[in-house]
Structure 1
């Protein structure tokens, strides 16, 4: 199987090899799954306008992300239950990302301790959901800082968890079969029973400044789909905004990130970095997102499907995606990521 076809077949291979509840957990979207289903392929709404007569002998796909260079323009987004896919879970992904000189965002629900992740040498950020009682988040945040997290990613699109439907006739869902030791190992014992541990319903711009001052780290606001919300986040001190609809797992019917990205980039107007995830499956998708103004691209389900084969599977997938990205850069006449700007024509992109 050619590399391009192998990436396209990762989901089918995972379907055959993973227990049904685990596969469903990773694949499913909220409610009827319309937003999730529309994501792969959504980037093709933006045709590329390649340059010619450009020297692409040497092509550098690296990006500068919060002041540090990564060798590839894509990183791994935070996801839960990685150890349900493979026993090594986050460690396997971390080692593969470190080998690619990339960036990994680690879920607060991870099944691997931050201290263990730090031993891999990977560059990583910690993702968090703030609870109603913000002080309950402090122990986890301190552990992340002590283990070397470079930034805090505040997920803002989850005041409640979006409804998902099980396809199992008996109604079996992942939480009925998962080993509790596979997740949330960085929380204090008894966290979920503490008053105020539920997700905050009153998130606001003030939380961005609180996180920044509490941790001393830059804050990335993840889950932004509108330009006006992006501006509020930047005004409150966010170093970056992350265009994401949570993989379609929150609001079914939400706009695709491919459609939302240009408006957010236009609204931010260079005052902060802009990242994006959602339906990225090929190097063409990566370059299209960069051409639309993303400073970095994040992968959600693709590395999870690859994780079925452990670290090797993730390494191979990241390598193939890099090769596809390099080919697309050459074919569009872009020797660097900044050269991709203008490869997509966006008429009158404005933030809402």
Structure 2
């Protein structure tokens, strides 16, 4: 077991030698530093959400409605607060994954490769976005474990190509995002006129794909604006008729576990379980798609109750601390995808910033688990109460 809590000891030890931390441990302070480091358009793209941003706010506030219930005198746990989990038959040292966030070239010039350098040393797998700035095969060479997130395009042959490429490159799972049949209404992006895809950003997997390229008259221009490739990308980005019928077809393309991300209702989770989907990610896209949607954490117990015995339930949206991870896992999530915090670390300090954020979350999570007297994989509803 990796003792992530020792990170706290190292910080204090370094401080006694006059070496104070370079980055903050408070999310809001790190976000402020990221805003200073980024251009207004890219920062608004990452920080912003749909409409009046009520969903994003609700995601964060929801964690205050759930309280952890320590039991100080529990019998000694097998790993003393161990963080290891098993997902789809694979052992992972932690229950954290980096959420699939696209267009990272607008955050840092090394994009996903910098994320890999920060996440891999702490054993946190990447969930690579379809809209990444680096082709999936290059990312695969830089990490030990990674999953592939699919935005299902309007072209089914392209969807198949993406899945087959990810499988061949060594992905451990396919995560289909279901809540992005089109981009949500995002006032911050509109005010800046900022849509990075129009500048050929976030298109690396498309422009490197043989099926996508076969649809074009000329080779894509990597830095092109308003080119044929850009317009074809925009026209094929999402299948507005995405349904369980589409998702069921993945079984013919890969033998990897298949998850669906963007599930907030028990009835939809049950439908997915019935067609043999291996897992769901309870998520509202961090509030980026629908304003005034249900907070993802409030939807988690309903989904777990409906399908938790039949499929693996994961969670994202609104997680801002290691204690938040513990709450989500106590409510039934088997693992948690973390988004904006590590992106801000990437903006401020590249790979080192990503590693700083992930180590901080894991240290707090392990300390929280030890103080609860639990291993995170064993957290359950008895460890959390609704306030």
TM-score by length of 2: 0.83
- 1:279 maps to 318
Match of 1:292 among 308, 316, 331: 331
Unaligned 5+ runs, structure 1: 348-352
TM-score by length of 1: 0.91
Alpha-carbon distance in structure 2 between the residues aligned to 1:62 and 1:134: 37
Q: CA deviation at 1:342?
A: 1.7
SS of match in other structure, 1:207: helix
Residues 1:328 and 2:368 aligned together: yes
CA contact (8 A) 2:326 2:376 kept: no
Q: CA deviation at 1:175?
A: 2.4
Match of 1:185 among 204, 207, 212: 204
- 1:350 maps to none
CA contact (8 A) 2:196 2:202 kept: no
Deviations 1:112-145 (A, max 9, x none): 1111111113311111122233122222222212
SS of match in other structure, 1:41: helix
SS of match in other structure, 2:336: strand
Q: CA deviation at 1:27?
A: 0.5
- Comparing both structures, which one devotes a greater share of its residues to helix? 2
Q: How does 1:115-264 map to 2 (within 5 A)?
A: 115-166=137-188, 171-175=191-195, 179-180=199-200, 182-187=201-206, 188-189=212-213, 190=216, 192-193=231-232, 197-264=236-303
Q: CA deviation at 1:167?
A: 7.1
Alpha-carbon distance in structure 1 between the residues aligned to 2:33 and 2:256: 39
Alpha-carbon distance in structure 1 between the residues aligned to 2:183 and 2:70: 41
SS of match in other structure, 1:307: helix
Q: How does 1:45-84 map to 2 (within 5 A)?
A: 45-54=65-74, 55=76, 58-84=80-106
Q: CA deviation at 1:172?
A: 2.6
Deviations 1:29-75 (A, max 9, x none): 01111111222232121111111212368221111122111111111
CA contact (8 A) 2:80 2:374 kept: no
Question: Structure 1 stretch 196-205 or stretch 318-327: which is displaced more?
Answer: 196-205
Alpha-carbon distance in structure 2 between the residues aligned to 1:346 and 1:212: 39
Alpha-carbon distance in structure 2 between the residues aligned to 1:177 and 1:130: 16
- 2:61 maps to 41
Residues 194 and 162 (structure 1), Cα distance of their counterparts in 2 relative to 1, 3 Å cut: closer
CA contact (8 A) 2:308 2:332 kept: no
Alpha-carbon distance in structure 2 between the residues aligned to 1:240 and 1:315: 27
Q: CA deviation at 1:346?
A: 6.1
Residues 1:19 and 2:26 aligned together: no
CA-based RMSD of the aligned residues comes to 2.3
- 1:342 maps to 382
Alpha-carbon distance in structure 1 between the residues aligned to 2:166 and 2:195: 26
Alpha-carbon distance in structure 2 between the residues aligned to 1:195 and 1:186: 14
Find the structure with the greater CA-based Rg: 2
- 2:15 maps to none
Match of 2:49 among 24, 29, 49: 29
SS of match in other structure, 2:71: coil
Alpha-carbon distance in structure 1 between the residues aligned to 2:159 and 2:169: 16
Report the number of matched residues. Answer: 344
- 2:352 maps to 312
Alpha-carbon distance in structure 2 between the residues aligned to 1:262 and 1:197: 35
Alpha-carbon distance in structure 1 between the residues aligned to 2:248 and 2:196: 38
Residues 269 and 116 (structure 1), Cα distance of their counterparts in 2 relative to 1, 3 Å cut: closer
Q: CA deviation at 1:220?
A: 0.4
Residues 194 and 160 (structure 1), Cα distance of their counterparts in 2 relative to 1, 3 Å cut: closer
Residues 151 and 20 (structure 1), Cα distance of their counterparts in 2 relative to 1, 3 Å cut: same
Q: CA deviation at 1:215?
A: 2.1
Q: CA deviation at 1:270?
A: 1.2
